[in-house]
């Protein structure tokens, strides 16, 4: 028996939401297709099914990045004192961005004078690094200060 990647992801999408991260997801899709649906599929077909399920559950990466300017406008409009910056290239594509909530800017004066910076490589089509700056409040709790997405290959985005 055979099935297209679209049929497979329609049958397994609910399982996909809860698949473990300690295994390769396409391998897990191959296993679930065999045990739950009784069909053997290739790793490549499982990969295509995974890509389609990610798009269904989380949306398209290109479309999501295109929404950042509108998101920032609404963020500034609804959160007084919020600071945002967005850099686009000449063709209107995303390069890097920065945001700090007004409440975080105001709350910084009540934090310990230490800033922690952490980064996470983004594993999407555009890559880059998500950097977060946080501090510690008077109760020794983590206090978020700012967030930025930078191009890991470009020193300009770090300044």
pLDDT at 114: 95
pLDDT at 24: 67
Tens of pLDDT along 10-30?
Answer: 677 777 776 655 556 888 888
pLDDT at 2: 64
pLDDT at 18: 66
Q: Where are the domains of the chain?
A: 5-58, 63-158
CA–CA dist 159, 61 (Å, integer): 26
Using CA atoms, how far residue 159 sits from 12, 22, 96, 97, 146, in Å, is 45, 36, 11, 12, 14
Residues of the chain with pLDDT under 50: none
Q: CB-based burial of residue 138 (10 Å sphere; 0-12 exposed, 13-18 middle, 19+ buried)?
A: exposed
């Amino acid at each position: 028996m055979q099935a297209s990647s679209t049929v497979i992801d329609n049958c397994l999408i609910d399982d996909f939401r809860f698949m473990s991260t300690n295994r390769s997801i396409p391998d897990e899709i191959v296993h679930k297709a065999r045990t739950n649906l009784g069909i053997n599929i290739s790793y490549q077909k499982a990969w295509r099914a995974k890509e389609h399920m990610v798009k269904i559950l989380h949306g398209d990466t290109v479309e999501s990045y295109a929404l950042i300017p509108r998101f920032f406008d609404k963020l500034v409009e609804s959160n007084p004192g919020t600071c945002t910056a967005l850099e686009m290239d000449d063709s209107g594509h995303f390069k890097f961005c920065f945001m700090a909530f007004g409440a975080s800017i105001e709350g910084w004066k009540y934090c310990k004078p230490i800033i922690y910076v952490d980064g996470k490589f983004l594993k999407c089509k555009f890559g880059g690094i998500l950097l977060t700056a946080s501090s510690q409040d008077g109760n020794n709790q983590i206090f978020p200060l700012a967030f930025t997405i930078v191009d890991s290959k470009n020193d300009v985005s770090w300044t």
